[in-house]
Amino acid sequence: MKKILILGAGTAGTMMANHLNHEVEKKEWEINIIDHRQEHYYQPGYLFLPFDIYEPEDIVKPIKDFIPKGVNLINEKALKILPLEKMVQMVNGDQLHYDILIIATGCNIAPEEIPGMKGSEWHQSVFDFYTFEGSLALRNAMRDFKGGKLVVHITEMPIKCPVAPLEFAFLADSYFKHKKMRDKVEITYVTPLSGAFTKPKATEALSHLLDEKNILQINDFGIKKIDNEQKKMIDYEGREVAFDLLVTVPTNKGDALMENSGMGDDLNFIPTNKATLQSLHYPEVFVLGDASNIPASKAGSVAHFEAEILTENILHYIKNEPLKESFDGHANCFIETGNGKALLIDFNYTHEPVEGSFPFPGIGPLRLLKESRMNHMGKLAFRWIYWHMLLKGTHIPFVSTAMQEEGKHF
Amino acid sequence: MDKTISGKTIQVNEEGYLTNFSEWDKDIALAISQEEHIEELGPKHWKIIEYLQDQFKQEIPLSIRKIGKSGVVDIEEFYALFPQGPLKKATKIAGIPKPASCI
């Protein structure tokens, strides 16, 4: 019996387990998925938890509920990958051989990368919202916030879901308006980028929204350290930003397993072919989702499109056929803009987000790069789609794996 | 689009980054650095420019963090040499694309 081993049962790994369970000949192949955790978190929910839009129970379910019967879930922690031996060494001493390895270990925050970030103010007045614990602690701090300087901050790129910090700033504006204390809160958006987003047309639209919502913007801020006593961030050019409540997105890094295994770059992301999703160093290793170094957004929608292509490529690999170079970097993201509205962006490696209609060219019903209630409903509906369709690998109707150019105003 | 700089016509994108690295030379670098308000390019500037071009040729993605760990320059000095967005300025002067520090 040959073995497929999937590392990580998050969004990407779970989708892959479901796809392969349908597609692979079970008489020849055994599929195992490794994850030491018990719970699957709906990570887009971390954005809503601090604003009391979702409750904790809305975003947590057992991992095992989403792994199909034909796939064996190994609830243990991996210690090291031995790519030359095609083996994964486990913390409990087991050694698991593989013929095909799919790495879907995601990425995590690393606040310890910035001096003072994980200091005495961590989860007191300095918060992340990229972990369940951080998001929940932030909810409590937001409930108690009496006013002052709220700073929303990105440490360095790349980060998971690059629009999330902007959404946080927009939702904070809306939240404090609703609490009738917006005049007591100064909101500042601080980024290492030269504008609100990485792509020009979206930056223009999003900067306009920041202005409209009276959110101040500080660009090109390369944070050096956080002074916990004075409650301020200091950058490499000596600029200072004071805060009463800091919501930061720390440096994002791939799993420490890559460091142990010598398979990652300096942020533990795995060098991966951006069109085939095969490791650049080991032909039997494939990388899916946030764990890779490909220049696409680290987001669930990207992992979803990747999973469809990777499934085909695994089947090609099994049959000794050439891999398809078909992943185009497609991402599709709702951006919450507050007051019950959202934007939608759809883009890939070569085409930046622009205005247009989605998914039906010229019809919609969703509008690209424009605020609407319909887009917001789409974002809320997505939680249901996530649990019931996306994780199970069901194709989402009308949304193509490769980005469609029709209906877009380039 | 075309741009005439230090007596030569070169191809640049809308942000002023060279689109054809083979058109780059040291005079162009000096002229761009003036436009970016960097008065003089000292030996350390040139060392960084060489390093960036070398990484570009090897298709290695650039980041400030990586440059800080390269042994060529530390992050603080990098900011001092190319103030206000060192990576985007240094890559422009080096004639290579603006890093798609993404996404």
The residue to which tokens 């390093």 are assigned: B51
Segment A311-321 shows an average pLDDT of: 98
Predicted local distance difference test score (pLDDT) of residue B103: 44
B63 and A157: CB-CB below 8 Å? yes
Q: Over 80: is that where the pLDDT of B13 sits?
A: yes
Q: How far is A365 from chain B (nearest CA, A)?
A: 26
Cross-chain CB nearest to A266 (options B69, B79, B102): B69
Give the percent of chain A with pLDDT over 90: 90
Q: Is B3 a catalytic residue?
A: no
Predicted local distance difference test score (pLDDT) of residue B7: 85
| A125 CB-near residues (< 8 Å, 6+ apart) | A141, A231, A243, A244, A245, A246
Q: Over 50: is that where the pLDDT of A50 sits?
A: yes
Q: Domain residue spans in chain B?
A: 2-94
Tens of pLDDT, residues A89-107: 999 999 999 999 999 999 9
Q: Where in chain A is the domain with CATH 3.50.50.60?
A: 2-44+60-106+255-318, 109-248
Of all residues in chain B, the one with the smallest CA distance to A331 is B103
pTM above 0.90, yes or no: yes
Predicted local distance difference test score (pLDDT) of residue B15: 87
| Neighboring chain A residues of B103 at a CB cutoff of 8 Å | 157-158, 162, 198, 295-298
Please tell me the distance from the alpha carbon of residue A197 to that of residue A351, in angstroms, as a whole number: 15
Please tell me the distance from the alpha carbon of residue A362 to that of residue B70, in angstroms, as a whole number: 49
Cβ–Cβ contact A198 with B under 8 A: yes
| B41 CB-near residues (< 8 Å, 6+ apart) | B29, B30, B33, B49, B93
Predicted local distance difference test score (pLDDT) of residue B101: 58
Please tell me the distance from the alpha carbon of residue B85 to that of residue A306, in angstroms, as a whole number: 33
Predicted local distance difference test score (pLDDT) of residue A148: 98
Segment B55-76 shows an average pLDDT of: 88
Cβ–Cβ contact A360 with B under 8 A: no
Q: Are A217 and A237 in contact, with CB atoms under 8 Å apart?
A: no
The residue to which tokens 């790129």 are assigned: A157
> How many CB contacts within 8 angstroms connect chain A with chain B?
48
| Neighboring chain A residues of B101 at a CB cutoff of 8 Å | 157-158, 192-193, 198
- The CATH classification of domain A109-248, taken from the options 3.30.565.10, 3.10.129.10, 3.50.50.60, 3.40.50.1100: 3.50.50.60
Segment A301-318 shows an average pLDDT of: 97
Residue A194 identity: S
Q: Over 80: is that where the pLDDT of B102 sits?
A: no
Q: Is the ipTM of this complex over 0.90?
A: no
Predicted local distance difference test score (pLDDT) of residue A201: 86
Tens of pLDDT, residues A258-288: 999 999 998 999 999 999 999 999 999 999 9
> Per-residue DSSP letters for A151-176?
EEEE-SS--BSTTHHHHHHHHHHHHH
Q: Kindly provide the b/e burial profile for residues B4-36, where b requires at least 16 CB atoms within 10 angstroms of the residue's own CB.
A: ebeeeebebeeeebbeeeebbeeebbebbbeeb
Identify the residue with better confidence: B61 or A206.
Answer: A206
Segment A339-353 shows an average pLDDT of: 93
**Closest residue by Cα to residue A391 from A326, A285, A300, A306:** A300
Q: Over 90: is that where the pLDDT of A398 sits?
A: no
Cross-chain CB nearest to A220 (options B76, B78, B84): B84
Q: How many CA atoms lie within 13 A of A13 on its CB side?
A: 28
Q: How far is A163 from chain B (nearest CA, A)?
A: 9
Least reliable range by pLDDT among A65-79, A171-185, B61-75: B61-75
Phi/psi at A65 (nearest 5 deg)? -65, -20
A293 and B69: CB-CB below 8 Å? no
Predicted local distance difference test score (pLDDT) of residue B62: 85
Cβ–Cβ contact B83 with A under 8 A: yes
Cβ–Cβ contact A162 with B under 8 A: yes
Cross-chain CB nearest to A237 (options B69, B83, B102): B83
Tens of pLDDT, residues A192-219: 988 888 788 899 999 999 999 999 999 9
User: Alpha helix (H) ranges present in chain B?
Assistant: 26-35, 43-57, 64-68, 75-81, 86-94
The residue to which tokens 């605020």 are assigned: A371
Fold of A2-44+60-106+255-318: FAD/NAD(P)-binding domain (3.50.50)
Q: Select from B64, B75, B103 the residue whose CB has the most chain A CBs within 10 Å, as the one to mutate to test that interface.
A: B103
